[in-house]
Amino acid sequence: MIYVSEIAKLLEGVTPLSANELVELIAPAPSSEMGDWAFPCFRLSKAMKKSPGLIASDLTRELKTNKPEFIDKIEAVNGYVNFYLNRRAVVESVLTAVKERGEGYGGSDAGAGKTILIDYSSPNIAKHFHVGHLGTTFIGHALYNILRFLGYHVVGINYLGDWGTQFGKLITAYKHWGSKAEIEARGIDGLMDLYVKFHKEAESTPGLNDEARAWMLKMQDGDDESLNIWKWFVDLSLIEYERVYKRLNITFDSYRGESYYNDKLDAVVSELREKGLLTLSEGASIVDLSAYNMPPCLILRGDGGSLYPTRDIATALERKQTYDFYKSLYVTGLEQNLHFAQWMKIVEMMGYDWAKDMIHIPYGLVVFEEGKKISSRGGNVIKMEDLLDKAAAKTLEIINEKNPNLADKETVAEQVGIGAVIFNQLYNNRIKDVQFSWDKMLNFDGETGPYAQYTSARANSVLKKTPAAVYEMETDYSLLCDNYSYEVIKLLDLFPERIAEAGEKYEPFIISRYLVSLAQAFNKFYHNNIILSDDLTLSAARVNLTIRVRDILKRGLGLLGIAAPEEM
Ligand code: ARG
Confidence of residue 47 (pLDDT cuts 50, 70, 90): confident
Cβ atoms of residues 362 and 119 within 8 Å: no
Query: Is pLDDT at 191 greater than 90 in this prediction?
Result: yes
- Three-state SS letters, 75-88: EEECCEEEEEECHH
Confidence of residue 370 (pLDDT cuts 50, 70, 90): low
pLDDT value for 145? 98
**What's the 332 CA to ligand 1 centre distance in angstroms?**
7
3-state secondary structure of 281: strand
pTM, full prediction:
0.94
93 by Cβ neighbours in 10 Å (0-12 / 13-18 / 19+) ranks as middle
β-bridge pairing 37-40 and 27-28: antiparallel
Query: Is pLDDT at 321 greater than 90 in this prediction?
Result: yes
Integer CA distances (angstroms), 375 to 334, 382, 433, in order: 9, 11, 10
**Triad 40, 41, 42: Cα angle to 5°:** 100
Mutate-to-test residue for ligand 1 from 307, 320, 329, 332, highest number of ligand atoms within 8 A of CB: 332
Euclidean distance between CA atoms 530 and 541, whole angstroms:
11
Instruction: Count CB neighbours of 293 within 10 A.
Output: 7
What is the overall mean pLDDT for the chain?
Answer: 94
Query: Is pLDDT at 376 greater than 50 in this prediction?
Result: no
Q: Is 122 left (phi over 0), alpha (psi -120 to 50) or beta?
A: left
pLDDT value for 66? 84
What top-level class would CATH report for the domain 417-560?
A: mainly alpha
Mutate-to-test residue for ligand 1 from 159, 331, 358, 384, highest number of ligand atoms within 8 A of CB: 159
3-state secondary structure of 108: coil
pLDDT value for 372? 59
Query: By alpha-carbon position, which residue is closest to atom 5 of ligand 1?
Result: 122
Q: Report the half-sphere exposure of 57 (CA within 13 A, side-chain side).
A: 6
Integer CA distances (angstroms), 524 to 51, 484, 488, 491, in order: 39, 7, 9, 13
Cβ atoms of residues 111 and 152 within 8 Å: yes
**What's the 333 CA to ligand 1 centre distance in angstroms?**
9
Confidence of residue 381 (pLDDT cuts 50, 70, 90): confident
pLDDT digits (tens, 9 = 90+) for 74-120: 999 999 999 999 999 999 999 999 999 999 999 999 999 999 999 99
- Domain parsing of the chain, residue ranges: 2-85, 163-245, 417-560
**What's the 138 CA to ligand 1 centre distance in angstroms?**
15
pLDDT value for 165? 87
**What's the 125 CA to ligand 1 centre distance in angstroms?**
11
Q: Cα 225 vs. chain centroid, distance in angstroms?
A: 41
Confidence of residue 244 (pLDDT cuts 50, 70, 90): very high
Which residues' Cβ are closer than 6 Å to ligand 1? 119, 122-124, 159, 161, 312, 330, 332, 376-377
Single-letter code of the amino acid located at 487: E
Query: By alpha-carbon position, which residue is closest to atom 6 of ligand 1?
Result: 122
| Share of residues in the chain with pLDDT > 70 (%) | 98
Cβ atoms of residues 62 and 14 within 8 Å: yes
Euclidean distance between CA atoms 239 and 248, whole angstroms:
14
Confidence of residue 1 (pLDDT cuts 50, 70, 90): confident
Cβ atoms of residues 47 and 59 within 8 Å: no
β-bridge pairing 366-368 and 434-436: parallel
**What's the 369 CA to ligand 1 centre distance in angstroms?**
27
The contacts of residue 121 (CB under 8 Å, 6+ apart) are 133, 136, 137, 140, 141, 158, 245, 250, 252
Residue 27 phi/psi, 5-degree rounding, is -130, 160
CATH topology assigned to domain 2-85: Gyrase A; domain 2 (3.30.1360)
Confidence of residue 379 (pLDDT cuts 50, 70, 90): very low
- DSSP secondary structure string for all residues of 289-347: -GGGT---EEEE-TTS-B-HHHHHHHHHHHHHHHH--SEEEEEEEGGGHHHHHHHHHHH
> In terms of Cα–Cα distance, which of 465, 489, 461 is closest to 475?
489
Query: By alpha-carbon position, which residue is closest to atom 10 of ligand 1?
Result: 312
**What's the 157 CA to ligand 1 centre distance in angstroms?**
11
Confidence of residue 378 (pLDDT cuts 50, 70, 90): very low
pLDDT value for 375? 46
pLDDT value for 301? 87
Task: Show the DSSP H helices in 150-254 as ranges.
Answer: 165-177, 180-186, 188-204, 207-220, 224-248
pLDDT value for 527? 97
